[in-house]
Amino acid sequence: MACIQACSNAMILALTWPPEAYLWFKTLHIVGVVVWFAGLFYLVRLFIYHREAEELEPGLRTAFQAQYALMERRLANIITTPGMVVAVACAAGLLSVNPSWLHQGWMHAKLGFVAVLLAYHWFCYRLMGQLQAGTCRWTAKQLRALNELPTLLLVIVVMLVVFKNQFPTGAATWFMVALVVFMAGSIQFYARWRRLRAESLTAEVSG
Ligand code: HEM
């Protein structure tokens, strides 16, 4: 009964939107998504710098960490979360104009991945609190790996929205596996390069 009521409410709402409403919602949805992702990518990069600042001598460390904490809070509250709110609100607008999307398999899959993305967003806030309290246990290398998760979610969600019910499952799986291998390889390569550079700097200073 409640379901029938909800469907008829959605249909009434859909009938009252002006014809171009769908395109406006879609435009703002895409803008919100771009802002949200820009914020998520840069936020965890700041976490990495915040964590690496622990290697500095005490005076510099305090100054750098205070600056990173300020940048993280502003980025999260002024860019990342508003981007998320616009993307999600306009997605709700798109669904209210065209509720039939909710009966399609690709949309169910998309909503599942968006739930993971929202959990990631919440987890970033948690990490930000821990970094600011000095209780974060994540290493810079682990944060680098974490920073790749939204890239994977972005690729898969954009593929879902473009291919819809013609989603190429086999090719997409190979593409995602190749992407994960490339990302893991790059993180290992960079960690090794940083270690070798630190060793050669130490040798230069002591020699
Ligand atoms: C809050 C959950 C979300 C819902 C309910 C939702 C729903 C929708 C709907 C109904 C469309 C219009 C599809 C069409 O007209 O063909 C759309 C378009 C789009 N969405 Fe989302 N979306 C959500 C989150 C996201 C996220 C997180 C991303 C990015 C990772 C994203 C990326 C896109 C893109 C790029 C388009 C444009 C596709 C096109 O015009 O071909 N959406 N979304």
In-domain check, residue 61:
yes
**Spatial distance between the Cα atoms of 107 and 23, rounded to a whole number of angstroms:** 18
C-beta of residue 26 within 8 angstroms of C-beta of residue 94:
yes
In-domain check, residue 132:
yes
Interval 119-135: pLDDT, tens: 999 999 999 999 999 99
Query: Ligand 1 centroid vs 188 CA: distance in angstroms?
Result: 33
Nearest CA to ligand 1 atom 15: 26
In-domain check, residue 200:
no
In-domain check, residue 72:
yes
Q: What is the DSSP annotation of 20-58?
A: THHHHHHHHHHHHHHHHHHHHHHHHHHHHHHHHGGGS-H
Of 161, 162, 164, 166, the residue with max ligand 1 atoms within 8 A of its CB, to mutate for a pocket test, comes to 161
Using only the alpha carbons of the chain, give its radius of gyration: 22
In-domain check, residue 103:
yes
In-domain check, residue 68:
yes
In the prediction, which pLDDT does 206 show? 79
Closest CA to 114 of 174, 154, 57: 154
**Spatial distance between the Cα atoms of 124 and 37, rounded to a whole number of angstroms:** 13
**Range of the structural domain that residue 51 is part of:** 20-167
Interval 177-197: pLDDT, tens: 999 999 999 999 998 998 899
**Spatial distance between the Cα atoms of 58 and 38, rounded to a whole number of angstroms:** 31
Looking at residue 57, the DSSP 8-state letter turns out to be -
Q: Angle 21-52/58-74 helices, nearest 10 degrees?
A: 170
In-domain check, residue 110:
yes
Structural domain total, the chain: 1
In-domain check, residue 123:
yes
Q: For the chain, which ranges sit under pLDDT 70?
A: 1-15
**Cβ of residue 38 lying under 6 Å from some atom of ligand 1:** no
The owner of tokens 């969600």 is 157
**Cβ of residue 145 lying under 6 Å from some atom of ligand 1:** no
